[in-house]
Structure 1
Amino acid sequence: MKKQIALCLALLVAPLGNLFAANMYPSHPIRLIVPFPPGGAPDVVARLMADDMAKSLGQPIIVENKPGASANIGMSYVAKSKPDGYTIILSSASLAINKSMIKNTPFDPVDDFTPISLIAMVPSVMVVPANIPADSVQSFIDYARTHQGKLNYGTSGVGTTQHLAGVMFNKIANTDIVHIPHKGQNALVPELIAGRVQLSFNNISAVQPFVESKELKILAIALPERWSEFPDIPTFSQAGLPGFEVSSWLALFGPANLPKPILQKIYQAAKTAMDNPAIRDRVVSAGNYPVVSTPDDLKAFLDEEIGRWSKAVEQLENR
């Protein structure tokens, strides 16, 4: 009987404890994990958001880069963290891809995370060194076909959207461009500029300064229509590869079972940050489409992305 009474009391007290914790949240700094090296789109957007979210929440938000294993190191770290709102992650499409691409992924993208909010879409651009004798997608394809097996395409790692884009491009264009994975954008971009890597499907923020300095050339962008920010860049459909719209995205997640009151506080802080015109403008200028969603909408979006990428990986494995 005493054990039953103790159990009943515990069941009654637990919700009160959770409510108290939610009301006190946050009482100390929050860690925002970026599962990629500094310099890429996730890192840029995370740092843009962190200060504004900190103002809303009343505690500092510390951005920590935990790169490696195609983002699995950072994502696994958050999946195993305590669901108290003090460890969250700005993830990318890798969360939807890795379960299909990397069979021993140490987490489940649905069961081990709490969706908070979609933040931005990150359209890929096809970028080549300035010394490549091609100024269009078709002329690059022609060049690659005359150099089968001799050109490289660089990525931030196996299983990324960059990697899948390259494999899909080889298949669609009937080319044989060799995949060279790198440890993040800071390692990849210098190799691209130097011409040791001849192609990358990258985000605009990583390559834009070098496009402006004429060291790199963008041949196409993976969007349904031309982006008003970059009106001179054709879409892949306009460039002769219809349907080639491989892009990533950025979204906030917490560990599974994040209490709803804490979830709502983080979501509202993220929404407030992205509603700030100054932050939105800087996110756009960094090459991203700001898109804020509710936690439920992000859950539905993630389910769709997992299905889409699993089919793509299956097709690529059977090619």
Structure 2
Amino acid sequence: MKFTATVLATLAFAAAAPAALAQAWPAKPVTLVVPFPPGGTTDVLARALGERLQQALGQTVIIESKPGAGATLGADHVAKSRPDGYTLLVGAVHHTIATSVYKKLPYDFQKDFAPISTVALVPNVLTISATTHATDVKSLVALAKAAPNPFTYGSNGNGTAQHLIGTQFAEMNGIPLLHIPYKGSGPLTTDLIGGQVQMSFDTVTPVLPHIKAGKLKALAVTTAKRSSALPDVPTLDEAGMKGFDLGTWFGVLAPAATPKDVVARLSAEMVKVIHSPEFRQRMLEIGAEPIGNTPDEMARQIKDDTEKYARLVKNAKVSIE
């Protein structure tokens, strides 16, 4: 009887351990891994979220930058991290594109991550230097067609949303464009202002201050709706590119084996933050639309976008070893 009682007690303890672990979480700082260099939209969004999330969790939230390979290096780091809820990825639509662009990835974005919540949708914006003699999409396309060499456009890296938007823009307007990949929005924006590249399709956030300062010109946003931060700038659909609707969403994910209770707690706290008036106001200031959906809704979003961008990648013949 003593042996049986001991075995039962051990089994009961083992069964209760995961629940106890989840209840004790968080017992130390939580790290949000940003797979792009500091200063870009992902970084700005992560810091805004982290600042408020640490108040909700009662623990420090650390923002750690791990850029490289079109945001896949940071993703791989999180996929292989201990699944305890302390290392999270600030993922983006780029990761659904990378699934089709890269011939070999060391992780499976749908299988190796547990979605927590989509934080916000940020429109991309067609931007040119203030010194470029174009006032709208039509005149820019005319300039590109008349130029002896292909116009250049910069992006945050191969296989990113900006890269793919550029291929779609070129195809729909029948113009050649030369893609120049950068390591992040900072160096890209500097070269765009200086005229080293002629256009970009970056997200609104990093270019907004320069548009307001008159150093850059915004010709159109890439989403179906206009940006609240640039209400006078038309959409590409309004500019004649009918049906064009591509934007960049950002969200948070954990390693796949993270306890469900921890994922649920993280999701609940993040959604509260995302739906708060203060966070919403901060998002509107940087040109983002707050979302705050459930893990299941984010998982469906990832699945749908992976399928959608696979078709676009195939048509554009974009491939990276």
| 1:122 equivalent in structure 2 | 122
| 1:3 equivalent in structure 2 | none
The structure-2 alpha-carbon separation of the partners of 1:245 and 1:13, relative to structure 1 and needing over 3 Å to count, comes to same
| 2:151 equivalent in structure 1 | 151
| 1:243 equivalent in structure 2 | 243
| 2:262 equivalent in structure 1 | 262
Which letter maps to 2:41?
A
Displacement, 1:7?
A: 10
Deviations 1:253-309 (A, max 9, x none): 000021111011111121121122111111111111111100111111111011111
Question: In 2, are the aligned partners of 1:162 and 1:200 still within 8 Å (CA)?
Answer: yes
TM-score (norm 1): 0.94
Displacement, 1:225?
A: 2.8
- Mapped to 2, the partners of 1:255 and 1:9 lie a distance apart of 31
The within-5 A match list for 1:300-319 is 300-317=300-317
| 2:212 equivalent in structure 1 | 212
- Mapped to 2, the partners of 1:137 and 1:11 lie a distance apart of 67
- Mapped to 1, the partners of 2:257 and 2:20 lie a distance apart of 16
- Mapped to 1, the partners of 2:55 and 2:126 lie a distance apart of 37
| 2:113 equivalent in structure 1 | 113
Displacement, 1:210?
A: 0.8
The within-5 A match list for 1:169-184 is 169-184=169-184
Question: In 2, are the aligned partners of 1:32 and 1:89 still within 8 Å (CA)?
Answer: yes
| 1:77 equivalent in structure 2 | 77
| 2:139 equivalent in structure 1 | 139
Question: In 2, are the aligned partners of 1:149 and 1:178 still within 8 Å (CA)?
Answer: no
The structure-2 alpha-carbon separation of the partners of 1:227 and 1:145, relative to structure 1 and needing over 3 Å to count, comes to same
Which letter maps to 2:214?
K
Which letter maps to 1:18?
P
The within-5 A match list for 1:1-319 is 13-317=13-317
Displacement, 1:226?
A: 2.6
- Mapped to 2, the partners of 1:287 and 1:146 lie a distance apart of 33
Displacement, 1:229?
A: 3.6
RMSD: 1.8
Which letter maps to 1:224?
A
* Runs of 4 or more consecutive aligned structure 1 residues displaced over 4 Å after TM superposition: 6-13
- Mapped to 2, the partners of 1:279 and 1:300 lie a distance apart of 24
SS at match of 2:202: strand
- Mapped to 2, the partners of 1:49 and 1:248 lie a distance apart of 17
| 2:3 equivalent in structure 1 | none
Structure 1 residue runs of 5 or longer lacking an equivalent are: 1-5
Question: In 1, are the aligned partners of 2:134 and 2:140 still within 8 Å (CA)?
Answer: yes
- Mapped to 1, the partners of 2:37 and 2:8 lie a distance apart of 48
- Number of paired residues? 314
Question: In 2, are the aligned partners of 1:170 and 1:176 still within 8 Å (CA)?
Answer: yes
Question: In 1, are the aligned partners of 2:237 and 2:243 still within 8 Å (CA)?
Answer: yes
Which letter maps to 1:143?
L
The structure-2 alpha-carbon separation of the partners of 1:228 and 1:156, relative to structure 1 and needing over 3 Å to count, comes to closer
The structure-2 alpha-carbon separation of the partners of 1:160 and 1:10, relative to structure 1 and needing over 3 Å to count, comes to farther
